[in-house]
Structure 1
Amino acid sequence: MKVTPEHNERMAKMTFASVYPHYVTKVERKGRTKEELHQVIQWLSGFNESKIKELIDDNVTFKRFFEEANLNPNAHLITGVICGYRVEEIDNPLTKKVRYLDKLVDELAKGKKMENILRTA
């Protein structure tokens, strides 16, 4: 599926705080924890617990979220399909980063081992 400019714009304007509760619900429904979710977010972004809370409280957009992030150097190892899009084929850098996060959350919810999710195995 091809990512459109409108889709990229929508991703940039979407707030992390609006999606975060859905991430929590998704992983907890599958028996994973909020702490594991935070571990995944921290691995990808470099944000600690207090920074994650601050970004939620400040209602930051994904654009700002990833501008402030220190993206993990192994993020490029995140591949596969998420929401109908093949991550490695997404051209827009911001949309690709958002989909990286979506893919990690999806892997967590599907019960993958943390070392595989964090690309350390």
Structure 2
Amino acid sequence: MKNNERVFKMSFASVYPHYIAKAEKKGRTKAEVDEIIYWLTGYNEQSFLQLIENKTDFRTFFEEAPQLHPNVSKITGVICGYRVEEIEDPLMQKIRYLDKLIDELAKGKKMEKILRQ
């Protein structure tokens, strides 16, 4: 669990460029990455940019999220060797949900599928 704590304290702003790079390397866009983040967390552009500017950590990023999307339970599958639906730590599960969505984007899935519509 010490490892989890290290992740929780990481600044979201330090990981965000990696999400964008992963997507862009596969021909996707920053706008799509942002759309996924807004969908998952309920943040809007203004509140999200504030978090980036403040170098908010992952714990605070998810604790202050306006609303986790009601369809998050539809996010399933394996990321980093773990089934996201079986991760017991609620915060780590939210982080892995985001990882999984970005992964799906990079793998070329359509946005409607990624956003569980």
- 1:51-70 equivalent positions in 2, closer than 5 A: 51-69=47-65, 70=67
- Residue 15 of structure 2: which of 14, 19, 31 is its match? 19
Task: Give the share of equivalent positions with the same residue, in percent.
Answer: 63
State the distance in 2 between where 1:52 and 1:31 align: 23
Q: Deviations over 1:23-60 (max 9, x none)?
A: 01000110001111111001000111112211111000
1:85 aligned partner:
82
SS at match of 1:31: coil
SS at match of 1:56: helix
2:41 aligned partner:
45
Q: Is the 8 A contact 1:11 1:98 kept in 2?
A: no
State the distance in 2 between where 1:76 and 1:43 align: 13
| Large movers: runs of 4+ above 2 Å | none
Please, what TM-score do these two structures have when normalized by structure 2? 0.96
How far residue 10 of structure 1 moved from its aligned partner, in angstroms, is 1.7
**Unaligned segments of structure 1, at least 5 residues:** none
1:73 aligned partner:
70
**Considering only aligned residues, what root-mean-square deviation do their CA atoms show, in Å?**
0.8
Letter in 2 for 1:108: L
